[in-house]
Chains A and B, each alone.
Chain A
Amino acid sequence: MPADAVPSSAGGPPAVELRGITKRFPGVVANHDVFLSVSGGTIHAIVGENGAGKSTLMKILYGMQRPDDGEIFIGGSPITIHSPQQAIRAGIGMVHQHFMLADNFTVLENVVLGAEDEAGIGAGARKKIQQLSSQYGLGVDPDELMEDLGVGDRQRVEILKVLYRGAKIVILDEPTAVLVPQEVDELFGNLRELTREGLTVIFISHKLDEVLSVADAITVIRRGTTVATVDPKSVTARDLATLMVGSELPSPEARESTVTDIPVLTINGLTVSTPAGRALVDDVSFTIHKGEVVGIAGVEGNGQAELVEAIMGTRAARGSVQLDGNAIGGWGTRQRREAGVGYIPEDRQRHGLLLDAPLWENRMLGHQTEPPNAKGPLLDIAGARRDTEQIVAQYDVRTPSIDVTAGALSGGNQQKLIVGREMSHIPKVLIAAHPTRGVDVGAQAAIWEHIREARRAGMGVLLISADLDELIGLSDSLKVIYRGRLVADADPDTVTPEELGLAMTGAAAGSSREESA
């Protein structure tokens, strides 16, 4: 690695400097007159609400988007970057918000793709990967098939891809979103290693305490504009949040329990297996009572998705599922939904919306057999439209009309529509997977409030989230899932995110922290 070739932090020109960057998308100004200066050999964090324009800014720096205006300086000299290739040549590497990996390729193929000139695509490349992997302690095997790897490994492959190209400036766009605290620590260890070698790291995150702990400098972006660059030592997470949102945050509401002892959803011995017989969800049992929020904590990929799918009936499972006293294990998804199971899917665009259909049709989705959307076997279009108008108003979905397509809305507004849709059918149980993922702080608070309200009215909630604060703040009881099993219960009143994170890695299995629900 070109540890030597990097301008040192103090004194010299900044490693990266952006001046007056502006970028418009149809209907949106993603970046407006952005200024950013990153010193060499440091970790520079960028924070901001969802949609603030962070990713866009980084994509501009990486040549994936062209700015409408503004200049980029690398090591003090101006440069135009019109393609990732040019960025790579300028020593910039980027790890994207979503993994950019081909599942059916090996690690080696993923890494050398596009950089075949470095060391070919054969033995030379393998050697180089192994050497880099051990130099930075990444522990990556070049010949493994990508689809066999877990998220942590994938993250490391992404970093390896950047290092392999000899990047001196490494951009990481929300690398920690899918990692547990321990993995995050490991990652930060890796990053510090990189800066020690003289590399510059630009790092985007929504997790403000992480940012405070690792960054050398923090830039806040709001509504496409840089608001401030601050020193992590002089600010608190709350200050940062305020800067991001531009107003004081509402303080977390005091919790009041609404849990009853009437079970509404009872799961018993639920097991989901792969065709090869491996258990993805392994003998899971729990009960949700009326008015109760049961939170499931776990590292992504430990069976949460399969658990949700099994409950929704979109995936075959063994074991019993009882809703309000009815065994619904043999029912189809439609029957379950009609019986009162609401569903906020994890990936709203893939599982929750018809992007090319208007909002009112999206309002029908999942409830196309129920009033106000249907009368007998026919659709009730007028009813659905009327109800959509109401949801749009009540849930503050920002849209000019209910006839625009769902794809034209921003992610947060899409999510609000989904939440509104599910809530308006007054479900007995709500299966909420990452209900506020990718949603900005304001909308997040609103969604929480809606969930709390419904809970007060007696709804049971199964909450799955990667946001531990959300889990702890919203749940009445917490369970930890690990390799498909519920391995621990936790009391949300006392547990800390760190403890929860530890339990999620399986390390705490059987430790004293568990408590009965």
Chain B
Amino acid sequence: MKRWDLRRVLPMIIAPIAALVLAALVSSAALLISGKDPLEAFSAMFDYAFGPNSGPDVTTEILNKATPYYLAALAVAIGFRMGLFNIGVDGQSRLGILAAGALGAASFLGVVPGPLRVVIMIIVAMAVGAAWAAVAALLKVYRGVSEVISTIMLNFIGGAIFAYLLTTERLGVKAVGGEIVSTPLLKSDSWIPGMSLFAGTANKMFGFAFVAIACGIAYWFLVGRTRFGFDLRATGLNPSAAVASGVSPKRMVIATMLLSGGVAGLVALPEVLGRDHAVTTSTPALGFTGIAIALLGRNNPVGIALAALLWAFLDVSNLPLDLLDIPKEIVTIMQGVTVLAVVVAYELAARVGRRQQQRSVGAATGEAAIVTLGIPAAIAAKLGVEAVSAPVEPPDSTAPTDPTVPGKHREEQS
């Protein structure tokens, strides 16, 4: 078995595609039930997203929407890789962005040059997000509180703090004519400029997308290429073995939670720095979206990127469905089914892969087995046994390595 064995990799590629097809079928069925034409729906979505009219703008928009999704999913994935469920991305992101937004617009920082203020905002957002995540980490480490529950509670509590602070009596302001409370608008020197992807589009891609990409690369490098990453993965794969290997579980939980919360703090920054230029009470909650996307992308930085784009495509392109009087909830249904189908498909693919590995192990060790078979003649003679000692014929012992043999495999018994 080679390092990149096609037999092992192929199921992993087929799995998400099969899941997508299934999701499309399910939503088609839903559409047919409500008397709509699925093809019309899908073509309207594609036309809106990539067609000549709206295409360039909407495609850019998909990228822009995918950017915070990507960050949210990365935040979740860091935890997932060590078996930690950070469901609190939402709260961490809101507190982080509020602190960053308020500070970025604060007058006492007015003298600081814009780019430096951006850096300060990024650092503050990460620090506050990490600090809020640390509450859950400490509760887990020292009080044994499951992070699943504590982060959910902390989302509500963080939200309360956010809502308390972002009012016109405190950190918030209201623009003339508007009703939305937000932090003061950032000065334009601390905006991150966007870039046009296609000629003549009004919509610009967030400059922060490059930060997100950098985060993805950093994630890949950290998890796959560093000692810390090894500890992280080892803990996720087998916590007790990781402990025996020298990983300190407490430190690991805290470090991972801090990292995850830090990235969570970044989630809303692309939009704030690139478009809104202020933090509002309606910062979208991306915690659950992040979980779903991390799962779809198998916690892999490239997979997450693809999943984020898919998710963003579905979210953005459903807009024209209303015009056609097609219920756009089918998109949510499709998202839910995709996640479920993808994880099931990966599970099945992993089973196929595992079986293939066992076969190849069996094939490699089976040959060795045959050589040693047979009773030494001396012993047989001494004991007078040979009645039931027929050695196993070689073809049979290797039979299961032939994939076509319909042996009763463990996987098929249930």
Q: Is any CB of A less than 8 Å from a CB of B in the complex?
A: yes
Binding site for B on A (CB under 8 A): 23-29, 32-33, 35, 65-66, 68, 222-230, 234-235, 239, 242-243, 246-248, 312, 314, 332-338, 343, 345, 350-357, 361, 364-369, 374, 377-379, 381, 398-401, 403-405, 407-410, 413
Instruction: Let me know if A230 and B238 touch, CB within 8 A.
Output: no
For A345, the chain B residues whose CB sits under 8 A away are 244
Task: Say yes or no for B401: interface residue by CB 8 A criterion.
Answer: yes
Q: Of the candidates A226, A227, A350, A366, which one forms a contact with B246 in the assembled complex, judged by CB atoms under 8 Å apart?
A: A366
Instruction: Let me know if A405 and B237 touch, CB within 8 A.
Output: no
Instruction: Let me know if B375 and A408 touch, CB within 8 A.
Output: no
Q: Of the candidates B234, B357, B365, B408, which one forms a contact with A354 in the assembled complex, judged by CB atoms under 8 Å apart?
A: B234
- Known contacts A345-B244, A350-B240, A369-B246; decide if A226 and B388 are in contact (CB<8 Å): yes
What size tier do the contact residues of chain B reach? 35 or more
Q: Which of B102-110, B295-303, B392-400 contacts A (4 or more CB under 8 A)?
A: B392-400
For A314, the chain B residues whose CB sits under 8 A away are 243-244
Task: Say yes or no for B355: interface residue by CB 8 A criterion.
Answer: yes
The closest CB in chain B to the CB of A227 belongs to: B389
In whole angstroms, what is the CA distance A413 to B413 when docked?
Answer: 26
For A405, the chain B residues whose CB sits under 8 A away are 354, 357
- CB contacts under 8 Å to A, within B356-371, are 357-366, 368-369
Q: Of the candidates B244, B361, B389, which one forms a contact with A351 in the assembled complex, judged by CB atoms under 8 Å apart?
A: B244
Instruction: Let me know if B364 and A343 touch, CB within 8 A.
Output: no
In whole angstroms, what is the CA distance A361 to B241 when docked?
Answer: 13
| A111 vs chain B, min Cβ distance (A) | 27
- Known contacts A333-B246, A350-B238, A350-B241; decide if A398 and B362 are in contact (CB<8 Å): no
Instruction: Let me know if B388 and A27 touch, CB within 8 A.
Output: no
Majority DSSP secondary structure for residues of B touching A: helix
Instruction: Let me know if A355 and B372 touch, CB within 8 A.
Output: no
In whole angstroms, what is the CA distance A509 to B376 when docked?
Answer: 46
For A235, the chain B residues whose CB sits under 8 A away are 383
For A357, the chain B residues whose CB sits under 8 A away are 233-234, 237
| A51 vs chain B, min Cβ distance (A) | 10
Task: Say yes or no for B143: interface residue by CB 8 A criterion.
Answer: no
Majority DSSP secondary structure for residues of A touching B: mixed
Instruction: Let me know if B364 and A398 touch, CB within 8 A.
Output: yes
| A69 vs chain B, min Cβ distance (A) | 10
| A84 vs chain B, min Cβ distance (A) | 13
For A35, the chain B residues whose CB sits under 8 A away are 388
Task: Say yes or no for B170: interface residue by CB 8 A criterion.
Answer: no
Instruction: Let me know if B354 and A408 touch, CB within 8 A.
Output: yes
The closest CB in chain A to the CB of B244 belongs to: A351
Task: Say yes or no for B226: interface residue by CB 8 A criterion.
Answer: yes
Instruction: Let me know if B357 and A408 touch, CB within 8 A.
Output: yes
For B359, the chain A residues whose CB sits under 8 A away are 26-27
| B375 vs chain A, min Cβ distance (A) | 6
Contact flags B224-236 to A (C-beta < 8 A → 1, else 0): 1111111101100
- Known contacts A350-B240, A377-B228, A408-B354; decide if A246 and B383 are in contact (CB<8 Å): no
For A401, the chain B residues whose CB sits under 8 A away are 1-3, 360
Task: Say yes or no for B247: interface residue by CB 8 A criterion.
Answer: yes
Instruction: Let me know if A229 and B364 touch, CB within 8 A.
Output: no
Q: Of the candidates A355, A365, A404, which one forms a contact with B360 in the assembled complex, judged by CB atoms under 8 Å apart?
A: A404
- 24 pairs of residues in contact across A and B, judged by CB atoms under 8 Å: A25-B358, A26-B410, A27-B361, A66-B413, A223-B397, A228-B383, A228-B389, A246-B374, A333-B245, A334-B246, A352-B244, A353-B238, A356-B237, A361-B230, A365-B234, A368-B231, A374-B227, A377-B226, A377-B228, A400-B364, A401-B2, A403-B5, A404-B1, A404-B357
Instruction: Let me know if A24 and B408 touch, CB within 8 A.
Output: yes
- Known contacts A27-B360, A351-B240; decide if A379 and B226 are in contact (CB<8 Å): yes
For B409, the chain A residues whose CB sits under 8 A away are 25-26
Task: Say yes or no for B248: interface residue by CB 8 A criterion.
Answer: yes
The closest CB in chain B to the CB of A397 belongs to: B365
For B229, the chain A residues whose CB sits under 8 A away are 379
Task: Say yes or no for B390: interface residue by CB 8 A criterion.
Answer: yes
| B205 vs chain A, min Cβ distance (A) | 32
A29-B366, A357-B234 given; name 19 further pairs at CB < 8 Å.
A23-B408, A24-B399, A27-B362, A27-B363, A28-B400, A68-B407, A225-B389, A227-B385, A243-B379, A334-B245, A350-B241, A353-B238, A354-B238, A357-B233, A378-B225, A398-B368, A400-B363, A403-B3, A408-B357
Instruction: Let me know if B227 and A368 touch, CB within 8 A.
Output: yes
Task: Say yes or no for B373: interface residue by CB 8 A criterion.
Answer: yes
Q: Of the candidates A29, A343, A355, A404, which one forms a contact with B397 in the assembled complex, judged by CB atoms under 8 Å apart?
A: A29
For A337, the chain B residues whose CB sits under 8 A away are 245-246
For A356, the chain B residues whose CB sits under 8 A away are 237
Instruction: Let me know if A228 and B399 touch, CB within 8 A.
Output: no
For B376, the chain A residues whose CB sits under 8 A away are 242, 246-248
Instruction: Let me know if A229 and B388 touch, CB within 8 A.
Output: yes
For A410, the chain B residues whose CB sits under 8 A away are 361, 365
Instruction: Let me know if B244 and A366 touch, CB within 8 A.
Output: yes
| A435 vs chain B, min Cβ distance (A) | 15
In whole angstroms, what is the CA distance A312 to B376 when docked?
Answer: 45
Q: Of the candidates B358, B363, B392, which one forms a contact with A224 in the assembled complex, judged by CB atoms under 8 Å apart?
A: B392
- Known contacts A26-B410, A228-B389; decide if A368 and B372 are in contact (CB<8 Å): no
- CB contacts under 8 Å to A, within B1-31, are 1-3, 5
In whole angstroms, what is the CA distance A126 to B405 when docked?
Answer: 50
Instruction: Let me know if A354 and B358 touch, CB within 8 A.
Output: no
Instruction: Let me know if A24 and B407 touch, CB within 8 A.
Output: yes
In whole angstroms, what is the CA distance A410 to B368 when docked?
Answer: 14
Instruction: Let me know if B379 and A365 touch, CB within 8 A.
Output: no
- Known contacts A35-B388, A230-B383, A403-B2; decide if A27 and B358 are in contact (CB<8 Å): yes
